[in-house]
């Protein structure tokens, strides 16, 4: 049995298994693309500019400690969601230490401009509530330890399972043994670097580079495994019996 498994290659798989593995890789590939798009639409706009930069990573995990979370959002990823004059009014309120007596003025602005998305059912921060808006007027210290813990364990569990199954498929490729082992283990190593860098950046913003390195590292390794697996399952050179 072990000999059969060791001699099993992608090009020798039946059509049933080739279609199964191809479907899985296509859907996982689409999911990874969606994850990349989600990063660009959230963390990628933390500094108010298009594209993911080191500043985006620093603002997301270390925070923009020159201002509040609310001001960072209004000048960053939420900049295009609020009219300039409304944004200016809200920022002035924040910089004045969010006085309670002005809530009758700024409260309706929050409701009108933020209420459609930040409602009770969205799971987003309830900025339309006075106590929540006031709490966000404090210094922006980035992601909290609680949120980092939650997101970290989700990523470590979820993405490692994706790389497990991608690795199982790629393990059947006809490929140099040394580089096959390197490619299979690389995504797991870079995933740990990626998640670990969030915690390091939370306390030392200079570590934001490791987030870039981790994400790029496992993306390249996954792309190579995807490409080789597709080629050996479907190109005539590999599928000859």
The predicted structure's pLDDT at residue 3: 42
The residue-averaged pLDDT of 55-69 equals 76
Task: Give the contacts of 209 (CB within 8 A, at least 6 positions apart).
Answer: 54, 197
The predicted structure's pLDDT at residue 137: 73
The rounded distance, in Å, linking the Cα atoms of 176 and 155 is 30
3-state secondary structure of 129: coil
Query: Is pLDDT above 60 for 39?
Result: yes
The predicted structure's pLDDT at residue 108: 83
The residue-averaged pLDDT of 129-150 equals 79
Annotated domain spans of the chain? 2-44+143-239, 67-135
Give the percent of the chain with pLDDT over 70.
87
What are 169-178's contacts with CB under 8 Å, separation 24+?
Answer: 169/10, 169/21, 169/24, 169/25, 169/225, 169/229, 170/225, 170/228, 170/229, 172/8, 172/9, 172/10, 172/13, 173/9, 173/10, 173/228, 173/229, 173/232, 174/9, 174/10, 174/11, 174/232, 174/238, 175/228
The predicted structure's pLDDT at residue 112: 80
């Amino acid at each position: 049995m072990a000999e059969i498994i060791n001699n099993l290659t992608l090009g020798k798989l039946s059509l049933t298994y080739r279609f199964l593995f191809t479907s899985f890789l296509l859907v996982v590939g689409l999911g990874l693309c969606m994850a990349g798009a989600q990063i660009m639409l959230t963390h990628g706009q933390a500094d108010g500019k298009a594209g993911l930069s080191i500043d985006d990573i620093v603002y997301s995990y270390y925070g923009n400690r020159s201002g509040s979370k609310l001001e960072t959002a209004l000048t960053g990823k939420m900049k295009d969601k609020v009219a300039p004059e409304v944004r200016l009014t809200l920022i002035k309120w924040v910089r004045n230490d969010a006085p309670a007596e002005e809530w009758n003025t700024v409260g309706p602005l929050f409701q009108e401009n933020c209420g459609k998305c930040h409602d009770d059912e969205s799971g987003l921060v309830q900025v339309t509530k006075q106590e929540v808006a006031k709490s966000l007027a404090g210094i922006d210290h980035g992601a909290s330890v609680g949120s980092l813990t939650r997101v970290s364990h989700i990523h470590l569990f979820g993405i490692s399972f994706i790389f497990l199954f991608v690795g199982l498929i790629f393990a059947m490729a006809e490929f140099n043994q040394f580089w096959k082992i390197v490619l299979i283990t690389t995504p797991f190593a870079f995933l740990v670097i990626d998640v670990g860098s969030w915690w390091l950046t939370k306390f030392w913003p200079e570590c934001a580079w490791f987030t870039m390195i981790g994400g790029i590292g496992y993306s390249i390794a996954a792309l190579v495994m995807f490409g080789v697996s597709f080629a050996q399952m479907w190109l005539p050179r590999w599928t000859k019996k």
